[in-house]
Amino acid sequence: MSGPLPRLPLPGEKPSGVWRPGRTQRTPWWRSLRLRGRWRLLPLIVVALLALAAWSGWRASATTVMVVANGLPLEVSTHARSVAGALRAAGLHPDQAVYIYPAPDTPLQPGMTITAATPRPVLLHADGRVLLVDASTTDPAAIARGAGIGLGPQDMVQVIRALGPTRRELGQEPALLGMPPLPREIVVRRPQTLVINEDGQRVSLQTGEPTLGEALSRAGYVLYEGDRIEPPLWTPLEGLLEVRIERGRPVTVLADDRRIEARTHVDTVGALLSELHLTPSGLDYTLPGLDAPVEAGLTVTLVRVREETLYETERLPFETVYVPDPELDLDQQRLVQAGQPGELHHELVVRYENDTEVMRRAAAEWVAREPQAHVVAYGTRIVIHSQETPYGKVEYWRTLRVLATSYSPLTAGHKQPGDPGFGIAAAGVEVQRGVVAVDPRVINLGTWMYIPGYGIGRALDTGGAVKGQRIDLGYTDADFFPRYEWIDIYLLTPVPPYDQINWVLPEDR
- 402 close to 473: Cβ distance less than 8 angstroms: no
Question: Do the two domains 192-246 and 249-303 of this chain adopt the same fold?
Answer: yes
Please give the DSSP secondary-structure letter assigned to residue 236: B
Amino acid occupying residue 468: G
Q: Which of 35-44, 48-57, 92-101, 209-218 has the lowest mean pLDDT?
A: 35-44
Tell me the CATH number of domain 249-303, given options 3.40.1700, 3.40.50, 1.10.3470, 3.10.20.
3.10.20
Helix (H, G, I), strand (E, B) or coil at 196: strand
Q: Which residues contact 287 (CB under 8 A, 6 or more apart)?
A: 300, 301, 303
Question: Residue 9 gets which letter from DSSP?
Answer: P
pLDDT digits (tens, 9 = 90+) for 88-120: 888 887 877 777 888 888 998 888 888 877 777
Using CA atoms, how far residue 444 sits from 322, 433, 441, 491, in Å, is 20, 19, 7, 10
Identify whether 420 is preceded by a cis peptide bond (ω within 30 of 0): no
Share of the chain above pLDDT 90, in %: 48
For the domain covering 192-246, report its CATH number.
3.10.20
Mean pLDDT of 322-351: 95
pLDDT at 352: 95
CATH of 310-378, one of 3.40.50.1820, 1.10.340.30, 2.20.230.10, 2.102.10.10: 2.20.230.10
Question: Which CATH code is given to the segment(s) 385-500?
Answer: 2.40.40.10
Q: Are strands 258-264 and 249-255 parallel, antiparallel or unpaired?
A: antiparallel
Instruction: Kindly give, in sequence order, each residue whose CB lies less than 8 Å from that of residue 41, ignoring residues fewer than 6 positions away.
Output: none
Say what the pLDDT of residue 1 is.
41
> Looking at the predicted structure, is the pLDDT value of residue 388 above 80?
yes
Most confident of 42-46, 49-53, 216-220, 491-495: 491-495
Q: Could you tell me the pLDDT band of residue 3, with boundaries at 50, 70 and 90?
A: very low
Work out whether strand 298-303 and strand 249-255 pair parallel, antiparallel, or are unpaired: parallel
Q: Categorize the per-residue pLDDT at 12 as very low, low, confident or very high, splitting at 50, 70 and 90.
A: very low
Residue 57 is classified by DSSP as: H
Cα–Cα distance measured from residue 90 to residue 67, given in angstroms and rounded to the nearest whole number: 7
Sequence-separated (6 or more) residues with CB below 8 Å from residue 200:
none
3-class DSSP assignment, residue 115: strand
- Tens of pLDDT, residues 432-489: 999 999 999 999 999 999 999 999 999 999 998 999 999 999 999 999 999 999 999 9
Rounded distance between C-alpha atoms, residue 197 and residue 241, angstroms:
11
Q: How confident is the model at residue 178 (pLDDT cuts 50, 70, 90)?
A: low
What are the helix (H) ranges across 61-201? 83-89, 140-146, 167-172
Kindly list the distances between the CA atom of residue 117 and the CA atoms of 76, 142, 368, in Å, as whole numbers in the listed order. 17, 17, 93
Is the pTM higher than 0.85? The answer reads no
Residue 259, burial from CB neighbour count under 10 angstroms (0-12, 13-18, 19+)? exposed
Give the angle subtended at the CA of 57 by the CAs of 52 and 59, to the nearest 5°.
95
Mean pLDDT of 359-367: 93
**For 73, how many CA atoms within 13 A lie in the half-sphere containing its CB?**
16
- Which pairing describes strands 228-230 and 99-101: parallel, antiparallel, or unpaired? unpaired
Residue 481's beta-bridge partner residues? none
Which has the closest alpha carbon to 77: 66, 91, 68?
Answer: 66
* CA dihedral over 285, 291, 292, 294, signed as positive or negative: positive
Q: Which residues, 6+ apart, have CB-to-CB distance to 454 below 8 Å? A: 404, 433, 473
Q: Give domain limits for the chain.
A: 63-117, 120-189, 192-246, 249-303, 310-378, 385-500
Query: For residue 8, what is the DSSP state?
Result: P
Rounded CA-CA distance 206/198 in Å is 16
Q: What is the pLDDT of residues 232-242, one digit of tens each?
A: 888 887 777 78
Fold of 120-189: Ubiquitin-like (UB roll) (3.10.20)
Task: Pick the most confident of 16-25, 90-99, 132-141, 375-384.
Answer: 375-384
Q: Cα(137)–Cα(156) distance, rounded to whole angstroms?
A: 17
